[in-house]
Amino acid sequence: MIISTIDRTSSTRQGGEEIRWRSLARRGMLHSECDSVDYVRLSPGTEFALRGREGTESAWFVLVGSGLLREQGSEAGERTLDAGELVLLPAGADARITSGADGLELLWLVVMPRSISQSLPMRRPVA
């Protein structure tokens, strides 16, 4: 059994902005094609790229707070995100989020795209 909490987050500071994060689980712990589960906390007004890791797909779940999501690309648009909303980004997608006045807390699930996971050998957990 592996237990992980959001206590003792790591921190990145750039200018007046702060991003805090904690890895909750990694691929080897999960016995799946999930790469990781991370907790991310943005200080108020922080802009953060939601690109994820190269060659992966991401699901971003808003835990606390609100922010503005800006999608890049041919059908670029903006929308407000609030607690309880989910953003799904396919491999290669590019989006940015700016946290609102109270900051923003996100849960980030990173998975391999089907094109990769279907070519991998079947994985079986062992005790």
Q: State the pLDDT confidence band at 44, using cuts at 50, 70 and 90.
A: very high
Q: State the pLDDT confidence band at 1, using cuts at 50, 70 and 90.
A: very low
The token pair at 7 is 């206590």
Cβ–Cβ < 8 Å for 21, 40: yes
Between 34 and 111, whose confidence is greater? 111
Q: 28: which DSSP letter? A: H
Instruction: Please report the sign of the dihedral spanned by the C-alpha atoms of residue 4, residue 6, residue 11, residue 17.
Output: positive
Q: State the pLDDT confidence band at 65, using cuts at 50, 70 and 90.
A: very high
Between 16 and 37, whose confidence is greater? 37
110: left (phi over 0), alpha (psi -120 to 50) or beta: beta
Between 108 and 20, whose confidence is greater? 108
Max avg pLDDT among 6-10, 59-63, 64-68, 108-112 = 64-68
Instruction: Please report the sign of the dihedral spanned by the C-alpha atoms of residue 69, residue 81, residue 86, residue 12.
Output: positive
Between 21 and 27, whose confidence is greater? 21
**Would the pTM of this model clear 0.85, i.e. be above it?**
no
State residue 28's pLDDT score: 54
Percentage of the chain lying above the pLDDT 70 cut? 68
